[in-house]
Structure 1
Amino acid sequence: PEIQYSLPSWFVKRWKKRLPGEWDDFFSANNRVPPLSIRVNTLKITTYELKKILLQEGVGKIEEGRWHDVLKIYGYPYIKDLRSYKMGYFTVQDEGAMWVSHVLSPNPGETVLDLCSSPGGKAFHIATLMSNKGLVYAVDIKDDVLIKETKERLGIDIIKPIRFDLRKEMKDFYQKADKVLLDAPCTGLGTMRRRPELKWKRSEKDIYRMSDLQKLLIKNAVKYVKTGGTLVYSVCTLEGEEGEDVVKYLLTLSPNYELSPIDGKPYLYLYPHIYDTDGFFIAKIKVK
């Protein structure tokens, strides 16, 4: 399989053990070129109207996506050159990344923290789901130039960027947020359909190293959730050490942290061969 699917042997070994009977489909899916998913900026335009405009702009093949505000585009690589993009009618985002914000399910008027936010795709989705009403703090160690530019393009003004190293605690934010999203730094191995070079740049050591960082980040993140609020933890990788192990560690810290099922399951694993998305792990934790 290593040669057939052009995958490192350590990765093949892990996943043959994890998905007996399915690994063949999983490896194949990771080698397929994914469609380009776009999320309609419903604050400016409807999906129906945007689809008509895209066809007029020369986009040949368009399919509807999983949600009412998603379109899938095929064979048009110059999407950001389109006038409709520059007008802020849509943004490019994988359906797996969109799923994260749907699990968070923010409401208009709430205070939301989006941690490790850069480049801001989920923050903008959250703000759109909130009808641009409330407050979204987009926190990241990186500079917020891109967020400022995108705010202008999309016409969203409830996002407040904060530059901060989240390995430290944001003491001013203790129990301040209705909802917190921690989309943690990770190995990114779920995105190899788009970034095939990653599989050769990562090793098993990276998985364990990232897991240690993720545990520190989630321990801090949960402190910003109000009593009765929600923390969503997500990573664009399917490795257990970066997903379930991190959440199980958090649950040992306090009896007030409780796993909320997603679609009747304790966790959501978005496998490329099942959902045709990037590989994501998503968990939802209630703070009592």
Structure 2
Amino acid sequence: MNDVRAFAAQALADVALRGASLRDVMERQAPRLADPRDRALLMALVSDGARWWLRFDAAINHLLERPLRDKEPRIHALLVLGLVQLEILRMPDYAAVAATVQAARSLKRPQLAGLVNAVLRRWQREREKHLATLDAQPRTRHAHPGWLAKAIAKDWPAQAEAVMAANNNEPPLMLRANARRVTREALIEQMLAADYEAHPHPWLRDGIVLPHSSDVTRMPGFAQGLFAVQDGAAQIAADLLDACDGQRVLDACAAPGGKACHVLERAKVALTAVEYDPARAERIRQNLDRLGLNANLVIGDAGDPEGWWDGMPFDRIMIDAPCSATGVLRRRPDVRLHRRDTDIAAMAEQQQRILASLWPMLAIGGRLVYVTCSLLRAENESVVQTWLAGQPDAHVVPFELPVGQAAAVGWQVLPGDGDLDGMYYAVLEKR
């Protein structure tokens, strides 16, 4: 089988119906396609399929007399992809329908090819009626689970519609120039010479923006470690940490290592990166090696430092806390399918534990930056406020960013603010 849409249907069924990670599925499926254009189409189909699943899954239920989801999950996913091609990717009707019908045959379900054709043709005939039904509810209008739509509306009532719309937009490709090896200006010149539409981010000093996703491994400078892929919201963390040469720095919950590498590119520090998951820790090592950086990589629990801390205080600590990832749905669309409302309280408890465990390791006069890629107050300002109530030696450092809004403690960038991902930051000093 070498049918991109058939591959995509299998991948989407794994992500949406079996709980698989989009990243893991793509790493497994993409190498099976030799043509980079086929791999790009596969990524577009599966990403948009996951992003819009909650909308078009409901539509398929309305179009079928008997559901296919349980008995024929790949065909159900293929039908969702048919609507994605028509409504999101705006492919020509005849090509999208014909190719999707052929994919049913590639999946060895020729007996269902006629059904696939009939369902997609019915959508075309009854499109306006079905779109009106889908647009009537937040869950299907914005393809967000009901609990999350309510949580966003509760925490950010004035911005809720804009946030959910931003979550469904294609994000730009954002890079971080490796200041150890190249200037941002020189790297942009290389990219422009290779016909990449790259320009400097307006206020992030290492940031480079390209309007569309691309295979970064083919871009000039990737193999030489001249840049890393990192959204601008994540690049802010190194600015707030403000590490200086000679300092001891801890990056807790460090995988995949983007923030740790950024700190090392900025200053000559002794950095310890802690990660609980050995497989994710290996990704930190790979990023360090490609960028030509060195760190003390520790596999351990950031919330239980007794087994790995040497007793020497750190001048800077970054807690990139485990969270719901609700701020990065535009880059990780599968999160909306896998996250549950019951996860949030457990996340907040873990965040409190890590913060309480690491604060004693900070030197007097030192700085701690608490970061999450969440937009939910329960994981952000509420965690920091609760912890501050029992910590008299912690001082909140006020700051402002060019985008986003002040929180009760710290600062919140919402998805789409300045075309960045959603991220929360609090800066604390020990006095």
Question: Does the pair score TM above 0.5?
Answer: yes
**Distance in structure 1 (CA, Å) of the matches to 2:291 and 2:171:** 25
**Distance in structure 2 (CA, Å) of the matches to 1:214 and 1:147:** 21
CA displacement at 1:173 relative to structure 2:
4.4
Q: 1:127 to 1:170 in 2, by over 3 A?
A: farther
Relative contact order, higher structure (CA 8 A, sep 6+): 1
Unaligned runs of 5+ in 1: none
Q: 1:231 to 1:173 in 2, by over 3 A?
A: farther
Q: 1:196 to 1:152 in 2, by over 3 A?
A: closer
CA contact (8 A) 1:174 1:225 kept: no
Q: Secondary structure at the match of 1:191?
A: coil
Match of 2:410 among 267, 273, 276: 267
Establish whether residue 71 from structure 1 lines up as the match of residue 208 from structure 2.
yes
CA contact (8 A) 2:225 2:292 kept: yes
Hey, which of these two has a bigger chunk of strand by percent?
A: 1
CA deviation vs aligned residue, 1:193-249 (integer Å, no higher than 9, x gap): 011121121121111111111111111111110011111111100111111121112
Q: 1:173 to 1:180 in 2, by over 3 A?
A: farther
Establish whether residue 142 from structure 1 lines up as the match of residue 277 from structure 2.
yes
Q: Secondary structure at the match of 2:186?
A: helix
CA contact (8 A) 1:174 1:223 kept: no
**Distance in structure 1 (CA, Å) of the matches to 2:150 and 2:400:** 30
Task: Please list every run of at least 4 consecutive aligned residues from structure 1 whose deviation after the TM superposition is greater than 6 angstroms.
Answer: none
CA displacement at 1:180 relative to structure 2:
0.3
Q: Give the aligned CA root-mean-square deviation in angstroms.
A: 1.7
**Distance in structure 2 (CA, Å) of the matches to 1:175 and 1:255:** 22
Establish whether residue 277 from structure 1 lines up as the match of residue 420 from structure 2.
yes
Establish whether residue 167 from structure 1 lines up as the match of residue 167 from structure 2.
no
Q: Secondary structure at the match of 1:114?
A: strand
CA contact (8 A) 2:323 2:379 kept: yes
**Distance in structure 2 (CA, Å) of the matches to 1:76 and 1:207:** 31
Hey, which of these two has a bigger chunk of helix by percent?
A: 2
Indicate the residue corresponding to 1:57 in structure 2.
194
CA contact (8 A) 1:175 1:223 kept: no
CA deviation vs aligned residue, 1:136-184 (integer Å, no higher than 9, x gap): 1111112333333322321223x11111122313374446100100101
Q: 1:49 to 1:206 in 2, by over 3 A?
A: same
Aligned pairs (5 A) from 1:106-117: 106-117=243-254
**Distance in structure 2 (CA, Å) of the matches to 1:150 and 1:110:** 22
**Distance in structure 2 (CA, Å) of the matches to 1:273 and 1:81:** 28
CA contact (8 A) 2:188 2:199 kept: no
CA displacement at 1:76 relative to structure 2:
4.6
Greater shift, 1-10 or 211-220, is seen at 1-10
Amino acid across the alignment from 2:323? C
Amino acid across the alignment from 2:172? P
Indicate the residue corresponding to 1:286 in structure 2.
429
Indicate the residue corresponding to 1:88 in structure 2.
225
Match of 2:318 among 165, 181, 185: 181
Q: 1:160 to 1:175 in 2, by over 3 A?
A: closer
Aligned pairs (5 A) from 1:111-126: 111-126=248-263
**Distance in structure 2 (CA, Å) of the matches to 1:148 and 1:30:** 30
Indicate the residue corresponding to 2:340 in structure 1.
203
CA contact (8 A) 1:187 1:210 kept: yes
Aligned pairs (5 A) from 1:171-250: 172-174=309-311, 176-250=313-387
TM-score if structure 1 supplies the norm length?
0.93
CA contact (8 A) 2:155 2:377 kept: no
Identity of aligned residues (%): 27
CA contact (8 A) 2:253 2:320 kept: yes
Aligned pairs (5 A) from 1:90-105: 90-105=227-242
Indicate the residue corresponding to 2:47 in structure 1.
none
TM-score if structure 2 supplies the norm length?
0.63
Q: Secondary structure at the match of 1:113?
A: strand
CA contact (8 A) 1:187 1:237 kept: yes
Q: Secondary structure at the match of 1:189?
A: coil
Indicate the residue corresponding to 1:252 in structure 2.
389
CA contact (8 A) 1:272 1:279 kept: yes
CA contact (8 A) 2:394 2:428 kept: yes
Amino acid across the alignment from 2:159? E
Amino acid across the alignment from 1:116? C
**Distance in structure 1 (CA, Å) of the matches to 2:282 and 2:150:** 41
Q: Secondary structure at the match of 1:31?
A: coil
Amino acid across the alignment from 2:219? L
CA contact (8 A) 2:253 2:276 kept: yes
Indicate the residue corresponding to 1:33 in structure 2.
170
Q: Secondary structure at the match of 2:345?
A: helix
CA displacement at 1:20 relative to structure 2:
2.6
